Amino acid sequence: MARIVFIGAGSVEFTKNVLSDILTFPELGDSTLVLHDINAERLATAEAMAGWMVAKLGLGAKVEVHLDRRAAVDGADYVINEIAVGGYEATRVDFEIPRRYGLRQTIADTLGIGGIFRALRTIPVMVGLGNDLAELAPQSLLLNYTNPMAMIPRAVYQGTPFKNVFGLCHSVRDTQARLASLVGVPEEEVSYVTAGANHQAFVLKFEHRGRDLYPVLDEVIERDPELRRTVRVEMYRRFGYFPTESSEHGSEYLPWFLHHDDQVEHFRIPVEIYLRWSEENLDTYEETRRRLAAGEGVEIEPAMELASEVIHSIETGTRRVVHGNVRNNGLISNLPKDACVEVPCLVDRSGMRPTAIGEMPAQLAALNTTFLNVGDLTVRAALEGRRDHVYHAAMLDPNASATLTLKQIHDLVDEMIAAHGDLLPEGVR
């Protein structure tokens, strides 16, 4: 049966969700589940949880645990990456230092100063993982969940011999479900084409039995003033296509919102909300540890996680369409070929096959290019050890450039590099 490896298995809540799916697919119940984390305590918690789940369901799945990454990935069929390099403390730095400069962020994991530095911390680890897979599991499939999604898979396929990497994110699926709900049409009856950069993709086709649903959406928005007070609806009205990212997250990839007090208030943008979520995640982890120690276990409830659906489709031949983040190479003809783009992928026993989209509307491609330029420079900074490209990425970031002077950006980058220290690539330090 399949050997499924979890890198960063100490992200216990996420690991629980994927395991709940895998273990409740009858065809995957005898898989070998391999857990890896560099934090021994969190790894032990993940081991206790996985063991409890397997026993509770009475399955034949085998659980392996490795602090050593190479031992974990040796012979892997599937590798699910969910790491957060530096953990909560690094995330806190990503908010606290920019805040002192007057720079607002909401999630800080995709673009902006926070996204740049999360990538710089993560890419050295991912390059190591890609090299390990090229040597020890060259036929495996790497399914990445770690943000920034437009940068992490790119660093693997551009910086290592391993190319079979796909990024997975819920934003497209959740957006499509939301749109169907808004227009009152069953989701399974709606035809979509959605593509672009991760967290800045757009719904290019939105139809029901050949009828364009965008005019119906316009009527819904016109009747609902609360919808009009969201960033994503504002972006839809200005650019003509509905974006896949939530309003709080999407606001920090753009120059028009977070720098302006009235826009933050009008669009109800929750500044620094990710810090609160991170603190809640710490509490959830401690509660999970307590429950396992008390023999209470955890809920086993299928979560429809994308990684588990991909694995199930490949193992069983069940056909699904999943949006994946892959090397562009002409899939979207008016975006850079080396960029990591998000497109529909057909998944079955032969693997994941991306769909060619062709040309995106010019205004969307222009906006995506601005987004992808920051990622390109950040990946170059990490792979080439070029500190100057960190400055360049930050200077070109839409939110930072709308808020700070060039000198402020330079000083902020220096302070961030000093704070994150050894977590960053040597050449950047």
Residue 27 DSSP label: G
The active-site residue, picked from 36, 66, 170, 266, is 170
**Residue 46: closest CA among 17, 21, 69, 88:** 17
Q: Any idea of the CA torsion for 269, 271, 277, 280, to the nearest 10 degrees?
A: -120
**Residue 113: closest CA among 408, 400, 380:** 400
Please work out, in degrees rounded to the nearest 5, the angle formed at the alpha carbon of residue 72 by the alpha carbons of 305 and 44.
75
Residue 50 DSSP label: H
Q: Is 340 marked within a binding site?
A: no
Please give the structure tokens belonging to residue 246. 């939530």
18 touches 46 (CB < 8 A)? no
Residue 65 DSSP label: E
User: In whole angstroms, what is the distance from residue 5 CA to residue 213 CA?
Assistant: 41
Look-up of token digits 């590099």: 417
Q: CA 143 → CA 11, 65, 81, 169, distances in Å?
A: 15, 19, 6, 10
Q: Is 249 assigned a catalytic role?
A: no
Q: CA 324 → CA 53, 82, 142, 165, 421, distances in Å?
A: 29, 16, 12, 9, 32
Residue 99 DSSP label: H
Q: Give the DSSP H or E segment for 342.
A: strand 340-348
Q: Is 199 marked within a binding site?
A: yes
Please give the structure tokens belonging to residue 228. 């009009």
User: In whole angstroms, what is the distance from residue 203 CA to residue 228 CA?
Assistant: 18
Q: Phi first, then psi: what are they for 240, rounded to 5°?
A: 95, -5
Q: Is 169 marked within a binding site?
A: yes
Which residues does the annotation place in the binding site? 147, 169, 199
Residues marked as catalytic: 170
Which residues does the annotation place in the binding site for Mn(2+)? 169, 199
Which residues does the annotation place in the binding site for substrate? 147
